[in-house]
Chain A
Amino acid sequence: MAIPISYNIRNLKLRKGLTIMTALGIALTVTTAIFLMALLAGLRRAFVSSGNPQNVLVLRKGSEAELSGGFDAALFPTLKVLPGIAKDSHGDPMVSGEWVVVIVLPRKDGTGEVNVTVRGMMPDGLELRPSAKLIEGRWFQTGQREVVVSKSIRSRFSHANIGDTMEFGKGSWKVVGVFDAGGSAYESEIWCDVNQMASDFDRQGGYSSAYLRATDAIAADALKNRVSDDQRLKLEGVLETDYYAKQTSSGAPIKYIGIVVAIIMAIGSSFAAMNTMYAAVAYRGREIATLRVLGFSRPSILTSFVLESLMLALLGAVAGILLMLPFNGMQTGTSNAVTFSEVVFSLQITWEVAAAAIGFALIMGLFGGLAPAWHAARQNILTALRG
């Protein structure tokens, strides 16, 4: 027969101070783990949500990134008439030849300079990226020295408000709009007209990359292969989603540091939980013996104490998640290993992160509770009753 859970709950309530302190200790460990997991989740989201499965990115053969690419503009008409490309709002093939450069901008808070990606695109570039929504002002106009900036660029750098001018290339550019890229990698970019930009950086007659919109996801795959297999082009097609998924590796250092820190803290917290549970067992020696006399078996005593430890850990996990919730959505940046520019992402406490945190806490509770529960179940009834 199992011991009712309410028995454990009452016990936890009875020694409030001890319960709260131990749970808080677990909560802090959980907080650290959540922080790291939320960082990684945010980073993953920035990259995974960036690509559109119907978009094919075209790069020079052998080049791994847009920045190190570059091909002759004369190839562009050939790309444009490839079969399988969707039509844009004017009934023309939806393609955009683009130039990507990295510029250096000073941070608003004065903590140094950061690399930012500037992307010059054709008008279709905007249609190719429906996930980017204009939230203020208007899009840049072809042939004008105008830029639109992402929401996070506006908040992180000075001179990035509508009406401001930015200095890069051969002169100043007017900020005319702000867009929201929904946490994707575009959130770290500045967009403008490709021809204006190419002339500013002396790159006329070429593109660093091209984007093609396929009619559907299957056509995208075929289009990708068609580009790569065409001997005349010497270009390579990649699905945009694959391109960004690869960049998630930028988070590797955070991941490794995070794992080490979380494990060390978890071991420490397990010991603390073990201590509390041992004390709980010690206080209740006579009670446990009484339970045994009443007919509760050893396994049920063992289960009961492990459950109590798990509840303690759960309490800690919930407290930890609550402690971290105010930080949800907090923005930070890290250097993108592929584009050399900063990628902005936010802390994302997703359901997966919360579930992982609870699992992590339960493991600590299990480790902390097993030995004391074993100890409790094996106590000699007579000595315990006398004690």
Chain B
Amino acid sequence: MTLSSFVVRNTFRNKRRSLLTMLSISFSLLLLTLMMSIWRTFYIDQGPPDSVKRIITRDRVSLAFFLPAYYREKIRSVPGVEAVVPMTYFGNVYKDDRSTNSFAQVVTDPDEYPKVAADKIVPPDQLLAWQRDRTGAMVDIELAKKFGWKIGDRLTLQSPYFPVHPEVTIRAIYTIDPPVRSLIFNTKYLEESVDWFKGQAGWYLIQVSSPRDVAPVSKAIDEMFQNAPQRTKTESQQAFQLSFVSSLGNVKAFILGICGAVVFTILLVSGNTMAMSIRARTREVAVLKTLGFTRQRVLSMFVGESIALSVAGGVLGVLGATLLIRLLTHSSVAIGVPAGMRVTVPTMLASLLVAATVGFISGCLPAYNASRTNIVEGLRHIG
């Protein structure tokens, strides 16, 4: 019998104990993987390649305040700016208040919009149809599938912010990965029906020539409006999205705190199990030593067992997290879960590495104690 098969057999000797330990570790690692994925989505992920060239200008204080329409041409005059479109959040309610029916509805300028959203793939004839119809709308393919919409369908929208119920016709269906599940229609159409909204925009979405321009252009825009009636805040699309997250409070510390608690919990659980399992085998250790197994051999056997258990739990946890995140990003119930969130291979490996390390550390002390047992005493042990 080889050392590794000996370890594997021992790991699953007490099936119930191993299973419970594994399950316990797997839930902790599920949480750890989830937290790491959230961290990656918020702070590491750069988003799709096109988005690194996009910046957003909004009111310095809050998105709730609209910017004047003439800002658009002023922004366009800044060197490095390739395209500018006005964007306004119309609402997210559809049919009724149920969150399962909720999706983002924004208005923009259809003529220039394709320049800043080249990653949204639309058939050219549909795009043209959308640009020509002032009451036309463009929707995400996932959204169209969910509600069973086809080109030419008419929808009535409603908004918590605008006192109107515009009727729009679906003229184009776009595809993008990851899906953004939004409906986009013409800002002019909204301006026509809402008097006070004329000549305003919620924010400006800007395409710059290269990723290197992001910082200088953002700075130039904000400086230009320094003494204007409304000061602006310009930042990358990534930072813009992150600002929604940071408004929740100190999210980084929050995530780190949970991760710390989780890792420590696994350490305890795993250490506990190993201590129990090794104690029950005191006599066996003595027998092994009588047979000529060295201390190092015994030590590595037990540590190996501990690592095997943790990693097995880790695999379960990572799989669980992957499944959970896939479920969340594809479900319409969980609003606010970024569609781009997924468990990447490095995240998985990191989780498993944590599992293995924890298994190693937690196995060391009980295994060391076991390897030091006096043979005669061990043989006498009644356990």
A contacts, CB < 8 Å to B = 17-18, 21-22, 24-25, 28-29, 31-32, 35, 67-68, 102-104, 112, 115, 253-254, 261, 264-265, 267-269, 271-272, 274-276, 278-279, 332-335, 340, 342
A170 to chain B, nearest CB (A): 12
B194 within 8 A of A: no
B42 within 8 A of A: no
Q: In the complex, what residue of chain B is closest to A275 when comparing beta carbons?
A: B20
The answer to whether B17 touches A279, judged by C-beta atoms less than 8 angstroms apart, is yes
The answer to whether A265 touches B247, judged by C-beta atoms less than 8 angstroms apart, is no
B262 within 8 A of A: yes
B276 within 8 A of A: yes
Name B's interface SS. helix
The answer to whether A268 touches B257, judged by C-beta atoms less than 8 angstroms apart, is no
The answer to whether B31 touches A265, judged by C-beta atoms less than 8 angstroms apart, is yes
Taking A21-B272, A268-B23 as given, write out 7 further A-B residue pairs in contact, using a Cβ cutoff of 8 Å, ordered by the A residue number. A28-B268, A29-B261, A102-B62, A271-B24, A272-B265, A332-B249, A334-B249
From A31, A254, A271, B248 is in contact (CB under 8 Å) with: A254
Interface hits, B235-294 → A, CB 8 Å = 246-250, 257-258, 261-262, 264-265, 268-269, 271-273, 275-276
B15-54 near A? 1/0 per residue, CB < 8 Å? 0110011011111101100100000000000000000000
**Also in contact, A265 and B27, with CB within 8 A (given A28-B261, A332-B249, A340-B61):** yes
The answer to whether A25 touches B269, judged by C-beta atoms less than 8 angstroms apart, is yes
B331 to chain A, nearest CB (A): 14
B346 within 8 A of A: no
B64 within 8 A of A: yes
The answer to whether B268 touches A21, judged by C-beta atoms less than 8 angstroms apart, is yes
Q: Give chain A residues whose Cβ lies under 8 Å from the Cβ of B61.
A: 102-104, 115, 340
Q: How many residue pairs between the two chains, A and B, have CB atoms under 8 Å in the bound complex?
A: 105
Q: Give chain B residues whose Cβ lies under 8 Å from the Cβ of A254.
A: 248-249
B198 within 8 A of A: no
From A102, A261, A268, A334, B265 is in contact (CB under 8 Å) with: A268
A323 to chain B, nearest CB (A): 10
A-B CB proximity, top 5 nearest: A335-B247, A268-B27, A271-B24, A340-B62, A275-B20
The answer to whether A18 touches B28, judged by C-beta atoms less than 8 angstroms apart, is no
The answer to whether A269 touches B265, judged by C-beta atoms less than 8 angstroms apart, is yes
Please, how many angstroms separate the alpha-carbon atoms of A29 and B123 in the complex? Answer: 52
The answer to whether B272 touches A335, judged by C-beta atoms less than 8 angstroms apart, is no
From B31, B62, B250, B272, A272 is in contact (CB under 8 Å) with: B272
Please, how many angstroms separate the alpha-carbon atoms of A90 and B131 in the complex? Answer: 65
Please, how many angstroms separate the alpha-carbon atoms of A35 and B20 in the complex? Answer: 27
B60 within 8 A of A: yes
Please, how many angstroms separate the alpha-carbon atoms of A102 and B233 in the complex? Answer: 15
Q: Give chain A residues whose Cβ lies under 8 Å from the Cβ of B62.
A: 102, 115, 340
Q: Give chain B residues whose Cβ lies under 8 Å from the Cβ of A28.
A: 261, 264-265, 268
The answer to whether A25 touches B31, judged by C-beta atoms less than 8 angstroms apart, is no
From A253, A268, A276, A278, B28 is in contact (CB under 8 Å) with: A268
The answer to whether A253 touches B248, judged by C-beta atoms less than 8 angstroms apart, is yes
Q: Give chain A residues whose Cβ lies under 8 Å from the Cβ of B60.
A: 104
B216 within 8 A of A: no
B66-98 near A? 1/0 per residue, CB < 8 Å? 000000000000000000000000000000000
